[in-house]
Structure 1
């Protein structure tokens, strides 16, 4: 393994520190012994939260698919990169999220596709207390309360059912003596058992459990119940969507709006940028996140497939604009192009978006001001801006398959004629604005004890509209 370490006392120089990892464990007599992996390995054994070798293979392959689509087929991203100034890379604090991002990036831009002077890419991170790249139960009190309420509802709904009886007919003999029955709220919980089964199945014979754990009907029932426990809230509650994933989708919408109406989302106005003078238009963002992130996004947009996201699942949020060419009519044959943020010849000091001015030294520059369009309600936009939003289109692809958002498909003016998976940015923002928090940290402390749907059920609303 290689990590960065200071190579002198005053921390003025940093170098890669290469090392080997072994793991220790308790032996049969409580003595310290060298831990051995499933295949007899004694080095590089994964700790909790780390990405397995199989995970590294599949995330690298994801990066290769991204390269094939966006570089080779569409020519949207360059074949060779000299820096990542036109990219936004971000990961959660969980090790496997960062490792997944690194593997996917290397799959998309291997060493042969990077110049010799390619600098270390910037990867954006957040404090755990402000992390929005996954539903943050640990740091959002009201969301934690809602998650428990939906889990309790799932326990009442499923614990005494034919499905749970079938699950117990197979698995109860494997449960601990103090908790002999599988249930939504058992110890271990049904969702945890489901995770274990999925993980062992994904890694082949060396980690497989007895064959009855992989019974088809068993797994179908367990997935159905776990999905209801964890993700039903996104389909039913505006507050659940707002506190669970609204801040993240609000950021995504803000950046697309900046691209459409304000000259672009640029690296010098982003944490991903390395220079305030040599910034570039950001064309591609990639985040290392979690299954709960993906399910929250799909559920909040009314596009949940009702399945638990498989390992190495991905969501692509793509922004298109109509190609600048004459056309005979508004139909699905009209060419769309993935929008490349234009270069800014002269930085503006005002208007909808004010670019940062100041020193080119990234270590001493002041933080850039936020876009004036950030979190701005749709009704506040002038007509020219709304018209621009209506000429840009958002498409969601889940595991490479386009997703249909009900609110976009419901009205002809909300989507591209002939293909309702292309949602106008105007309609997409209108949907997301309904569950974008104005102040996530404050709203996490509100409505405590207000029940599943808030006072008078005012938070009860179907997602996707």
Structure 2
């Protein structure tokens, strides 16, 4: 493998996620001795995959032969369930080639998971041939598997080997310390499996059961629910407004792509730029080609890929940051759940682990999981004119958000009180009746979090409010290799007195996400949709 140039690095950073190097100086700076990690939630986009559909056939091969290891795993699975046979119906002769047909286009609940491969060339220049390594559309490739394994290995190096948050092996109780979620997409499930494989590479002898939670597509809160008509209307309107702000730059990108014959043919025949977005449609083809080393046509270079990754984010991500309601309707239910997990972790820690609470939650999702979360965490807050920051790009393959719950009982809590914190005294109010914009914490954060006294004699929560009940706890959020500085946490008194605005007080974190977190009931009301069952999730 050749070492990439600086321009190569720039392009790859926009489509493949980077992780921080765990040097001694890095650990000393971000994890000083007086600070301990109590709980972590890791949210990821799946690893590198093939395009979700066969577009731009002049440059994109129909057969993507990058799934040899994955297909072998699928064959092992088929053997285990008695479905691995040849065309004659026996299991002794020739081997049937299987591939993973991931749900195509917008379908989330249909499609064949395992099926027989058939290949017909779709254009005369397609010289690719199916092999035992042929992928399906939207399938995670062997490169993607390695990337997710590397992410798991990074988590092990940090939270097992360095900080001791998690046990060294599953056999010593690691399974009880994990909460695992994935969407129903196969690429998300397999990304989760490889992340776990990197976290715990040496499985113990015997059987170890890991429970992975998968919700029905109509109940999944890890991507936007397009049954929410209010969300769709606002998304289209604000998306158009976002593009109007960068109209000149957007137009120039489109005109530059028209100079590339294969892309011009795509726009002329397969694609209507007036009804669909230009950047993301091209990026979904050229980004997988770039990361898998496939030749790109003249004119599709690293600079163009970086421009596509930036403008794709403007098309679909930056629009949500103009309006909290849109972000809330996209992923508010997940934000609500995450706030509840953090609150539960605090209560568990204060109870000296009298009841079990997973120390690490892993949520395997998509770019549509990353984007609304970034909006809720105020990723564009530095851009006061509401233009997308130049370093904003589409969430790359393997992108990760880490929410760290930290504890520090030594460093004095900030003396200055944020303006909004005074209203924290009234914790008895029914938060669900307070408008989202005026909330100081999500309604998933229970009152009991603020009724705890350090020296309890009867083991029961205090009936009185304790203004210092959460003062030892802080939250820090990482996006790939950088710390996100949440806007609310920049306020005086809302961050760690030594580590600065990168480390929020717990209440500062709750204040930041309060207007973006909605319960299932609130989400249905705001979206004006009704699902067949209103039973709560049992996870």
Name the counterpart of 2:317.
Answer: 231
8 Å CA contact retained: 2:97, 2:117: no
Per the alignment, do residues 384 and 6 of structure 1 end up closer, same or farther by CA in structure 2, a change over 3 Å counting?
farther
Show CA shifts across 1:21-65 (max 9, x none). Answer: 1553353599xxxxx995x55124222232111101111111111
Per the alignment, do residues 239 and 380 of structure 1 end up closer, same or farther by CA in structure 2, a change over 3 Å counting?
farther
Name the counterpart of 2:480.
Answer: 399
TM-score, scaled relative to structure 2: 0.61
Name the counterpart of 1:410.
Answer: 491
SS in 2 for 1:388: coil
8 Å CA contact retained: 1:378, 1:430: no
TM-score, scaled relative to structure 1: 0.70
> Which of the numbers 161, 167, 187 marks the counterpart of 1:72?
161
- Give the distance between the partners of 1:266 and 1:292, measured in 2 at CA: 37
Per the alignment, do residues 282 and 165 of structure 1 end up closer, same or farther by CA in structure 2, a change over 3 Å counting?
closer
1:446, distance to aligned residue in structure 2 (A): 3.8
8 Å CA contact retained: 1:89, 1:287: yes
Name the counterpart of 1:3.
Answer: 77
Per the alignment, do residues 127 and 222 of structure 1 end up closer, same or farther by CA in structure 2, a change over 3 Å counting?
same
SS in 2 for 1:429: helix
> Which of the numbers 88, 93, 96 marks the counterpart of 2:187?
96
SS in 2 for 1:235: helix
**Is residue 2:25 matched to residue 1:25?**
no
SS in 2 for 1:175: helix
Matches within 5 A, 1:260-339: 260-261=346-347, 280-304=356-380, 305-323=391-409, 329=412
SS in 2 for 1:117: coil
> Which of the numbers 167, 171, 180 marks the counterpart of 2:256?
167
Larger displacement relative to structure 2 (50-59 or 21-30)? 21-30
Show CA shifts across 1:79-102 (max 9, x none). Answer: 111251221011011111111110
1:430, distance to aligned residue in structure 2 (A): 1.8
| Aligned-CA RMSD value | 3.6
Per the alignment, do residues 223 and 69 of structure 1 end up closer, same or farther by CA in structure 2, a change over 3 Å counting?
same
Name the counterpart of 2:338.
Answer: 252
Per the alignment, do residues 160 and 401 of structure 1 end up closer, same or farther by CA in structure 2, a change over 3 Å counting?
closer
Name the counterpart of 2:200.
Answer: 109
1:170, distance to aligned residue in structure 2 (A): 3.1
- Give the distance between the partners of 1:19 and 1:258, measured in 2 at CA: 49
Larger displacement relative to structure 2 (226-235 or 41-50)? 41-50
> Which of the numbers 407, 416, 428 marks the counterpart of 2:509?
428
- Give the distance between the partners of 1:284 and 1:385, measured in 2 at CA: 28
- Give the distance between the partners of 2:122 and 2:324, measured in 1 at CA: 54
Name the counterpart of 1:13.
Answer: none
> Which of the numbers 444, 447, 451 marks the counterpart of 1:375?
444
Matches within 5 A, 1:151-162: 151-154=239-242, 156-157=244-245
> Which of the numbers 500, 504, 528 marks the counterpart of 1:419?
500
- Give the distance between the partners of 2:142 and 2:369, measured in 1 at CA: 22
8 Å CA contact retained: 1:320, 1:393: yes
Per the alignment, do residues 435 and 290 of structure 1 end up closer, same or farther by CA in structure 2, a change over 3 Å counting?
same
8 Å CA contact retained: 1:322, 1:392: yes
- Give the distance between the partners of 1:440 and 1:182, measured in 2 at CA: 37
Structure 1 gap segments, 5+ residues each: 8-17, 31-35, 268-277, 332-372, 448-465
- Give the distance between the partners of 2:512 and 2:267, measured in 1 at CA: 47
SS in 2 for 1:3: helix
Name the counterpart of 1:120.
Answer: 209
**Is residue 2:525 matched to residue 1:443?**
yes
8 Å CA contact retained: 1:223, 1:307: yes
Structure 2 gap segments, 5+ residues each: 1-73, 83-94, 100-115, 381-390, 415-441, 452-463, 530-539
- Give the distance between the partners of 1:182 and 1:172, measured in 2 at CA: 14
Size of the aligned set, in residue pairs, is 372
1:374, distance to aligned residue in structure 2 (A): 6.1
Larger displacement relative to structure 2 (406-415 or 21-30)? 21-30
- Give the distance between the partners of 2:326 and 2:242, measured in 1 at CA: 16
